[in-house]
């Protein structure tokens, strides 16, 4: 008997479940033309298009209802929404019309993207010209100055100026050229400048990767490399001329150094009340007293500093002509081409 009761209980539960499910089905409001608008209002435009495409054959009124009441509002959707709607409406009477609106939205969307990419390219060029290149020039000037100070120090004096004695034994421009080759590290200039360029181009590529992903959802790894000329510097005739003048001056300086050391304090003393006989004595040294005083008073540039200034200026000018102009041109073209590739990728993906 207990077994029979259990069977009855089991059947009773099944009956109750069936009755409840039937009751739920009876409580569902049937989809009709009268409540169709409310149904579509509860869905997103993409969901509504999918619902229409799946159920249009089951409801005879749905083609005309969706075409006349829903689709006009759908045409104002965004590009991404229209893309999904156009896909959903394939194989429906609205497929041709939906495609027209989608194509128009795509054109407008691409137009906005193209304008934004052009503006980005302009800003990227501007940043390189106004921010990156000045930093490159400052660092390069520092590197050139350090190297030339080393060259001139080795050529002109060194510790306690003991190398000045070498000027008596035929030291000339050939020695300067050898020091130039040894201490002017042209290769390091190129390598350092190229690092600036590569770092900036890498930052542009990263930005473009993120931009492409935000628009299309696609991920790529972009690399932008350009042909950068290596810096090559030869000693100009102006530098050699300055070296020759410097060399002659150093030879003369060795013979007049003691006279200068003696004349300077005496001249100052004479101009502040010293006796005339001292001035007469100095005059016989063939050293111009007035020029010496002016040199002391005006603190004229030392010969080494003058030579350094000429060398650094010449080198920097040469680098600007043969390197910076070429780099700027290459980077500008690289930025332009890279942004065009970015737009083409978006054009292909959308």
pLDDT digits (tens, 9 = 90+) for 2-48: 554 555 555 555 545 554 554 444 456 788 888 889 999 999 999 99
Of the listed ranges 44-58, 237-251, 281-295, the least confidently predicted one is 281-295
- At 320 the pLDDT is 82
Tell me the C-alpha distance between 337 and 204, whole Å. Answer: 12
Distance from first CA to last CA of the chain, Å, rounded? 73
The SS3 of residue 213 is: helix
Cβ density class 311-325: b for 16+ within 10 Å, e for less: bbebbbebbeeebbe
pLDDT tens digits, one per residue of 137-181: 999 888 888 888 888 887 775 533 444 434 433 455 677 778 778
Where along the chain do its domains lie? 1-30, 33-93, 107-349
Whether pTM > 0.75 for this model: the answer is: no
**Residues 99, 105, 107: CA angle, nearest 5 degrees:** 105
Average pLDDT, integer, range 64-92: 92
- At 102 the pLDDT is 93
- At 168 the pLDDT is 38
Tell me the C-alpha distance between 51 and 57, whole Å. Answer: 11
């Amino acid at each position: 008997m207990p077994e029979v009761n259990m069977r009855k209980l089991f059947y009773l539960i099944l009956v109750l479940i069936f009755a409840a499910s039937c009751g739920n089905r009876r409580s569902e409001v049937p989809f009709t033309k009268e409540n169709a608008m409310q149904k579509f209002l509860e869905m997103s435009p993409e969901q509504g298009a999918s619902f229409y495409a799946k159920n249009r054959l089951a409801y005879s009124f749905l083609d005309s209802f969706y075409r006349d009441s829903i689709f006009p509002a759908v045409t104002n959707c965004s590009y991404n929404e229209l893309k999904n709607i156009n896909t959903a409406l394939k194989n429906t009477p609205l497929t041709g019309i939906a495609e027209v609106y989608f194509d128009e939205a795509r054109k407008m969307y691409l137009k906005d993207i193209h304008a934004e990419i052009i503006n980005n390219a302009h800003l990227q060029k501007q940043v390189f010209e106004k921010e990156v290149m000045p930093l490159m020039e400052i660092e390069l000037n520092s590197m050139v100055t350090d190297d030339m100070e080393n060259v001139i120090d080795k050529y002109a004096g060194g510790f306690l100026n003991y190398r000045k004695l070498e000027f008596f034994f035929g030291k000339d421009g050939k020695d300067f050229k050898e020091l130039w080759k040894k201490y002017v590290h042209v290769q390091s200039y190129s390598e350092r400048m190229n690092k600036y360029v590569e770092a900036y181009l890498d930052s542009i590529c990263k930005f473009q990767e993120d931009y492409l992903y935000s628009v299309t959802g696609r991920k790529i790894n972009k690399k932008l490399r350009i042909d950068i000329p290596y810096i090559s510097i030869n000693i100009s005739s102006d530098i050699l001329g300055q070296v020759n003048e410097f060399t002659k001056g150093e030879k003369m300086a060795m013979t007049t150094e003691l006279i200068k050391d003696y004349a300077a304090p005496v001249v100052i003393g004479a101009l502040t009340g010293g006796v005339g006989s001292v001035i007469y004595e100095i005059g016989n040294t063939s050293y111009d007293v007035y020029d010496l005083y002016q040199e002391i008073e005006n603190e004229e540039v030392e010969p080494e500093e003058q030579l350094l200034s000429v060398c650094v200026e010449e080198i920097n000018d040469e680098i600007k002509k043969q390197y910076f102009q070429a780099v700027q041109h290459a980077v500008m073209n690289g930025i332009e081409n890279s942004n065009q590739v970015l737009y083409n990728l978006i054009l292909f993906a959308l």
